[in-house]
Amino acid sequence: MFPAIVLSFLIRNRSKLPDRNYVAKYGTLYQGIKVENKTTTVYSFVFLLRRLFLVCIVVFLDEYQFFKPMLFLQAQVAYLIYTGWSRPHDDKWYNFLEKLNEVGLICIAYVMFLQTAFMDD
């Protein structure tokens, strides 16, 4: 429910987010994020939703071990596409660092495939 509340808050108050009072109260929610654009304003929601999805993969797919690496990889690729397309951070360095981290996690996901017993040698 928490990501939905964050999304509702960010979309409803998008025009007020640069205001000094909003930055003082809620600035940590969108600090360093471009709020002029709707696709970048929802970055916090997408980030929280992805993290929640990764936790749900681990918790609810305990019986289906072969789905975990596949869903993890798909979630990481989708998130990399979103961050590469929208460039949500104000600073170019943070956008580059975000993409670098996601590429690293995608490499880890491929190594997870190699470490499972689901692929033939």
15-55 residue pLDDT tens: 777 777 777 777 666 677 777 777 777 787 888 888 889 89
67-97 residue pLDDT tens: 888 888 888 899 889 888 888 888 889 889 8
Q: How far apart are CA 10 and CA 12, in angstroms?
A: 6
Nearest CA-CA partner of 30 in 51, 44, 18, 16: 44
Q: Where are the domains of the chain?
A: 2-115
- Spell out the long-range contacts of 48-54 with Cβ–Cβ below 8 A and sequence spacing 24 or more: 48/2, 48/3, 48/6, 49/3, 50/75, 50/79, 52/3
pLDDT at 40: 77
